[in-house]
Amino acid sequence: MAFKRFISLIITLFFCILLYLQPVLCSNIEAKASQFFSSGHTNNWAVLVCTSRFWFNYRHVANTLSVYRSVKRLGIPDSHIVLMLADDMACNHRNPKPATVFSHKNMELNVYGDDVEVDYRGYEVTVENFLRVLTGRLPPSTPRSKRLLSDDRSNILIYLTGHGGNGFLKFQDSEEISNVELADAFEQMWQKRRRGAPFCRYNELLFIIDTCQGASMYERFYSPNLMALASSQVGEDSLSHQPDLAIGVHLMDRYTFYLLEFLEDIHPASQATMKDLFKVCPKSQCASTPGHRTDLFQRDPGTVLITDFFGSVRKVEITKETINLTTPIVHEDHDPSRPAEEAPETQTYVDQLSVTEIIHQKPKRKDWHPPDGFILGLWTLILLVFFKTYGVKHLKHIF
């Protein structure tokens, strides 16, 4: 009886201790959870624009479509991609292979595919529409697929290609957008936070441009959290890669060609950073010097993952405890020196597509399997016959 009372006392004491310790354990999980929610961005958007018309500008459409397929493959869904193509190359009358747009010669890779969703097509790709998409000032009747519904936790990738010059980019052979307009549009996107609208429109923005003298387009940026890459410096021309003799036009521009090759090696769990992206297409491969600008970006580019902009990676962390989220999570000040994904472990993804093999022609790596039943049975049969014929005394030579 006394023993029973002693046991029950121990148990209640144990539970009291647990109850006492519970808040401590909970606050540890909550601290981890608050850390989880305070890291960088939560969603990814992409705005991919091809600005030139006519059959001989086939390569600009192929550029944009190849970035589209990379971005889609790495996880950004169509609802988060605004694709603007100024002309329809796949169904052009002069296309000897209708409904295809190739990016490699000998028609190795069809970037048009079956599931391309073009949001702005043909004459809808204008400077006004592009700026309206960026700043969000669209008429209320615009469908959702044509809007950039980003918020202040979105990382946006903007890719522009076409014909350009020092300080401008030509749209549709009839109008131009200047670098000042572009910089002002980005500033509008940033400023929306303070104007009373609840969210500014981006968390971080990566701007890639593949035109002649592309570096002039990012010279005038002045908003924070912008990183920019261009295919050529001021005074240089971006050149095209290779013509296809059956189709009769140049298929891709050099910078985007090597960018596509680089991106085909990236899978959603890849740890490649922006520093690798800056090394894409050195002057020996591209005839022009690619440039980049990172002074407006607050994190170190060596810590920024490619998939932060090109993919849509969902952070997953498995926990077995319950977390009480009744108190609001206080955002800590973002520490720029700390790498962005410290707490959660990401799952690894299966190697999904074999496009890498098409481009690089690497042989598939085959894993070694132990020999299965048939082979074992065959060898056993052979051994049995051997020993039957020549007697068991040879067994000592084997073992």
Q: Which residues bind other proteins (CB under 8 A)?
A: 54-56, 91-96, 98, 248
Active site residue 163: yes
CB of 91 to other proteins, least distance (A): 8
Q: What is the H or E stretch that residue 277 is in? A: helix 274-278
**Rounded Cα distance, 234 and 289, in Å:** 10
Question: C-beta of 95: minimal distance to other proteins in Å?
Answer: 7
With respect to other proteins, which residue has the nearer C-beta, 136 or 243?
A: 243
For tokens 């958007």, name the residue: 45
Between 93 and 362, name the residue whose CB sits nearer to other proteins. Answer: 93
Residues 6+ apart with CB under 8 A from 183: 220, 221, 222, 223
User: Min. distance of Cβ 52 from other proteins in angstroms?
Assistant: 13
Give least dist CB 126 to other proteins, A.
20
Backbone angles phi, psi at 286, to 5 degrees: -85, 145
Sequence-distant (≥ 6) Cβ neighbours of residue 384 within 8 angstroms: none
From the list 202, 287, 194, 191, the residue with the least C-alpha distance to 238 is: 287
Instruction: Out of 60, 80, 104, 212, pick the active-site residue.
Output: 212
As measured in angstroms, the least distance from the Cβ of 235 to other proteins is 26
Q: What is the distance between the alpha carbons of residues 308 and 78, in angstroms, rounded to a whole number?
A: 17
Number of residues written out for the chain: 399
Residues 171 and 217: beta-carbon distance below 8 Å? no
- Extended strands (E) in the chain: 43-50, 81-85, 120-121, 154-161, 163-165, 168-171, 175-178, 204-210, 226-230, 291-293
Q: Cα dist. 51→63, 86, 127, 301, 357 in Å?
A: 11, 5, 9, 29, 31
Is 16 annotated as catalytic? no
Cβ at position 246, least distance to other proteins in Å: 10
Identify the bridge partners of residue 47 per DSSP, sorted by sequence position: 82, 158
Closest to other proteins by CB, 56 or 222: 56
Show which residues are catalytic: 163, 212
